[in-house]
Chains A and B, each alone.
Chain A
Amino acid sequence: MIERSIAVVSGKGGAGKTMLAMAITHELAIRSRTLIVDLDVFNRGLSGLLQKGRKLCDVAVPDFLLETGDTDEAPGEWSLIEAAPNVVTLHFPDITRLQRQRLEELSIGELMERLDRYVAQLLERSGCRYLVLDCHGGPDMLSFAAAGLCQRTILVSEPDRITFYGTLHFLRRMAEDCPTARPDVYLVFNKVMPAFSERYLNTFYDEQVKDLFQGHPLLAVIPFEAYLSKEFERFPFVTQVYPFSQLAGKARIIVRDLKIADDEPAAKAQATAAGRIMNTLLGRGVRLVPRFMNLDATTSFTAPVLVAVAILAGTTSDNVVWGPRINQYCEVFAWLVSGWFVEVMLVNWLSVLDRIATRQVRLRKFSSAIPAALLTEAIGLLLAFMVGISAGYFIHEVLPRDHVYGLSGAIHLAASLQPDGLTVFAFCLYCATGLWVTYNLVVQSGITLWHERRRSEGVLRGLGSILGPATAIVTLVLTCRGSI
């Protein structure tokens, strides 16, 4: 077994294996020098992505591709290149028909032995500490050999019938074909659509398939992020350009949970109280965006509800006895639903703007980064101003004067199920959502920057993050005092 190594395999192509392998490589490269090898010698997707780089040295053709007694015909074509700082990859030409035949003739045991020798040689010559093997999309001998060799194996799947069928097929084939003990395999659900919740997939895994993975917990649930798929073609290390994406966060969690880097500074940080708190936040914070914050789901839900409320209010408004009362409730309910929709919409806009600004900063395109960042900050401040002024107006004008405010007062009012109480409930709900969003946007990005040791970006983001709540509080106080 090769220490500090990860094999990334899947039961079917297109599950996002290469993108995940690259994200993990970037994460490991933050710690130490990392070697990534494309073992998908038939499709060579990774080789296509990492074509450029500084050549380090020539290496021999692996002997599992050569007939006994063959000589290395083109040694210069197999080389190690430094594709990015701290990232080394193996550059090689297309394998020939004869080499392919040779590969298919080998037994799995023989292949494992030779691959082990070859990879050990590559690690030694490149001076790398970590190894990532990106395998073929489907069950093949090289994937099984890599799984048998590496300290950890990640099996990438998707929660759909076809891919999951391929995943189970991979497990069956590996059980039958792999002569050694069962490799240490962890499952990752990738490209998860909003229709599936993280909670459901964890329950599904625990109750149905956990025993097929030696009792390991589900390693990660990674949502489908359409913009990353497009950007991956342009930037192989896409998580470097999008550090606040879910994929980047999940890659950090994966490296932490696989415990292959526990002799690194991360482990030292873990020994301190601050480090442990950061680690807990890191684990808890990177989750799928809940369905109630998804713009499409919210739009499709709120529109019919608002129509239903409008019809209800319209049909009862003629009745002078109970019409006004029903209309009062309808008004509160409509405010609640439309407020939720507006909040989700604005948060989504801000996330997109923040993503663009961060991308441009990371690519050092400051001419477009600065306007994008300023626009993000301006919208954030405008929102904070609106929250402050409406909260101030609410406290100053709407709430009954003789009422005791604070949490107990709010709960008492809400429990009375009167329109005023429901308004308080709605207000508390939005405050809670606001806190949650702030936690995700600010704390998570802070953790990321702390982890990547990007102090200047961290300071700028910290300043930007303080301005929002400060504006909201100042506006709130001024409105309460009647100054605005």
Chain B
Amino acid sequence: MNEPGIASPSSIDPSGVLKPVLAHVGTVRSEILVFCIIGFILLEGFGLASKDMVGEIMRLSGVLIVFLGFAFYLYAYFHLPSTAQERIFTEQAAGEIERTRNIVQAAHRARHPVPAVQGATV
């Protein structure tokens, strides 16, 4: 079972290498977005100052950066833990939940045993 709030590894990270990193970067999504906007402001300003091809490339890079920033923000909003507390709570609860599930299921089975199938041989 995936950790809640963390995207399925197969969607963007087939090997699962990025999973621990993804769990952390969601908590700084706003800061990344601000960084991208400031980057856009700088590149846009520099790009407008130079009238040649380099200026156009800079302007385009600025637009690309700000769109990437927004895309990442939306992705993080829907798929990643937003705060360190959410991430830590997820990690800490996992083991205890599994233990509880096993005990509850065992108690349920003990109360409602599965009837033996007639004629079955071992």
Contact = CB atoms under 8 A, between A and B. Distances in A.
Interface in B40-65: 40-42, 44-46, 48-49, 63
Contacts of A323: 45
B103 interface: yes
Given A159-B89, A208-B93, A305 B108 contact: no
Interface stretch (A47-55, A119-127, A190-198): A190-198
A322 B85 contact: no
A165 interface: yes
Contacts of A182: 108
Interface string B86-122: 1001101110110111011001100100000000000
B57 to A, nearest CB: 15
Given A325-B49, A329-B44, A172 B103 contact: yes
Nearest to A195: B85
Interface string A291-322: 10000000001000100110010001001011
A429 interface: no
A312 B42 contact: yes
A161 interface: yes
Contacts of A212: 97, 100-101, 104
Interface string A175-193: 1100101100000000001
A168 interface: yes
A227 interface: no
B34 interface: yes
A209 interface: yes
Given A203-B5, A207-B4, A305-B34, A326 B41 contact: yes
Interface residues of B, number: 39
B104 A171 contact: yes
Interface residues of A, number: 43
Contacts of A181: 111
Given A321-B49, A322-B48, A325-B48, A165 B82 contact: no
A171 B100 contact: yes
B21 to A, nearest CB: 19
Interface of A: 159-161, 164-165, 168, 171-172, 175-176, 179, 181-182, 193, 195-197, 200, 203-204, 206-209, 211-212, 291, 301, 305, 308-309, 312, 316, 319, 321-323, 325-326, 329-330, 333, 417
A175 B86 contact: no
Main secondary structure of the interface of B (DSSP, over half): helix
Given A172-B100, A312-B38, A321-B49, A207 B2 contact: yes
Contacts, number: 104
A165 B95 CA distance: 11
A196 B85 contact: yes
Contact of A193 (B41, B46, B85, B107): B85
B69 interface: no
Q: Which of A196, A200, A203, A301 has the most CB of B within 10 A?
A: A200
Contacts of B100: 168, 171-172, 212
Contacts of B63: 417
A196 B83 contact: yes
B45 A175 contact: no
A142 to B, nearest CB: 20
Q: Which 8 A-B pairs have the closest CB atoms?
A: A322-B49, A326-B45, A175-B107, A195-B85, A204-B4, A329-B41, A175-B104, A207-B4
B103 A316 contact: no
A325 B44 CA distance: 8
